[in-house]
Amino acid sequence: MDKIKTVGSAVTKLGRALIRPAHAWSSDVHRHIVSCALELLDKEKKVRTAAFYKGWHDAIIEGTIQPDKVGDIDKGSGRHYYSCMNAKGKALDETKGFYRNRMGEFAPSARTLYRANYTAAVSLYKSGKTAEAMNCLGRALHFVADMGCTPHVANMAVGDKANNVHNAFEKHVNNTYGNYKAESFDKRLVKYYEKNDPGEAFNKLVKYASSFVGAILHLDPRAFGDTATKTIPVTEQHIMAVLLKFHADCSSDKGNFLTDGKQYTFKNLATGLYLTVTPKGLVLDEQNKDKEQKIQVKLSELGTFGLKVADGGYVNRSCKGYDYLKIDGKSAQFRAEALGNRYFVISTEDSDYEKFLSAKGGKLASLAYEPENAAQIWVMI
């Protein structure tokens, strides 16, 4: 029996609320894409990886539909986009290997939300929380599927009118998705997904999906079908590549995870300063063995985490004080995205995970994400 039931309160928290009209693939299409990718492991005779996921298919597939649910941590306007083109087919600028979401921000986007959920999945697995890990892996795969959706990589707003391209395309696919299945795997993808951050692979995927923008603009059902025939099987192959990657990452240590209950130092890459516990909250300071600079990470079922200090308090939402929790109390949460080699960027619950812990003028700040900004990168050891 599949182990989805053991996810328990994590699924409850995300809610079995009604799903609003899809702002990318429908829940049925998301299920189909991930199911086909899991089947592809067997077709390609990836025996060990297929065995690794045996019994966990339902948990992964349940996870893949959660980010579209009302009240989900990742639900929000423009967040599920990663756009390399506008709705008229004009290429958009890339900055240090990154495209933006529909609102013109670097984060949260389909790419960064993949990264957050994937990091959570590896962290939970390494912490012995396999059910929660598989749920978060499914959530990460949701965003890979979104990056293979032509309207989502072309900044097309969704709408209810019949002539809305985004809505019309996805409605067509929702009625025909059973026709689209990858029969083989492009082995060239492996080298891209072996990297700590598969951003290059994602950029290739969104550029491929965006190449069909001109075809679907005219609302021709034949063009919709042709686009889906070409893009969905490619997306399934990318998802299979993530499944291979996750299996490998769970069997090794590339510094891409946090361990529940472990104490870490947080060193800012740009300044060399460390997060330091003081009576007034967290500050940046030089390394000093006589100061409290190790902070315990306490993972939630979604892979977000609270920061517990030596006296039992938890860093609060603003990082300017501490919360002393009653039984079953919940601490302020933070969210890590692994960059490899124990480098992370960290978003804050206080900003709805839209801003990231940063060093600015020697002080701790919460700022919008900027790709490759060393002031937002934390070395956690």
Q: In sequence order, what are the residues at sequence separation of 6 or more whose Cβ sits closer than 8 angstroms to the Cβ of residue 320? A: 280, 281, 282
Q: In the chain, which residues fall in CATH 1.10.575.10?
A: 4-250
Q: What are phi and psi of 303, to 5 degrees?
A: 85, 0
Percent of the chain surpassing pLDDT 70: 94
- Per-residue confidence band for 321, with pLDDT thresholds at 50, 70 and 90: very high
- Per-residue confidence band for 24, with pLDDT thresholds at 50, 70 and 90: low
- Per-residue confidence band for 6, with pLDDT thresholds at 50, 70 and 90: very low
Q: In the chain, which residues fall in CATH 2.80.10.50?
A: 263-380
Beta strands in 171-327 (DSSP E): 263-264, 266-268, 274-278, 281-285, 295-299, 305-308, 314-315, 322-323
* Residues 190-248 pLDDT 10s: 999 999 999 999 999 999 999 999 999 999 999 999 999 999 999 999 999 999 999 99
Question: Which residue type is seen at 190?
Answer: V
Average pLDDT over residues 91-116: 97
* Residues 111-157 pLDDT 10s: 999 999 999 999 999 999 999 999 999 999 999 999 999 999 999 99
Residue corresponding to tokens 């293979």 = 148
What class has domain 4-250? mainly alpha
Average pLDDT over residues 320-337: 95
Mean pLDDT rounded to a whole number for the chain: 94
- CATH no. for 263-380: 2.80.10.50
Average pLDDT over residues 102-110: 97
Q: Are 313 and 322 in contact (CB under 8 A)?
A: yes
Does the bond joining 151 to the residue before it have cis omega, within 30 degrees of 0? Answer: no
Residue 15: predicted pLDDT:
38
* Residues 188-202 pLDDT 10s: 999 999 999 999 999
Structure tokens at 40: 């592809």
* Residues 153-193 pLDDT 10s: 999 998 878 889 999 999 999 999 999 999 999 999 999 99
For the cut 80, the answer to whether the pLDDT of residue 95 exceeds it is yes
For the cut 60, the answer to whether the pLDDT of residue 22 exceeds it is no
83 Rama class: left (phi>0) / alpha (psi -120 to 50) / beta = beta
For the cut 90, the answer to whether the pLDDT of residue 364 exceeds it is yes
Average pLDDT over residues 322-337: 95
For the cut 80, the answer to whether the pLDDT of residue 5 exceeds it is no
For the cut 90, the answer to whether the pLDDT of residue 328 exceeds it is no
d(CA 174, CA 149): 12
Residue 307: predicted pLDDT:
99
How many alpha carbons lie under 13 Å from residue 317 in its C-beta half-sphere? 6
Residue 143: predicted pLDDT:
98
pTM: 0.93
Residue 116: predicted pLDDT:
99
- Of 195, 168, 181, nearest to 235 by C-alpha is 181
Residue 57's H or E segment, with its range, is: helix 57-65
* Residues 248-291 pLDDT 10s: 999 998 889 999 999 999 999 999 999 999 999 999 999 999 99
Residue 77: predicted pLDDT:
86
- Quote the DSSP letter at residue 349: G
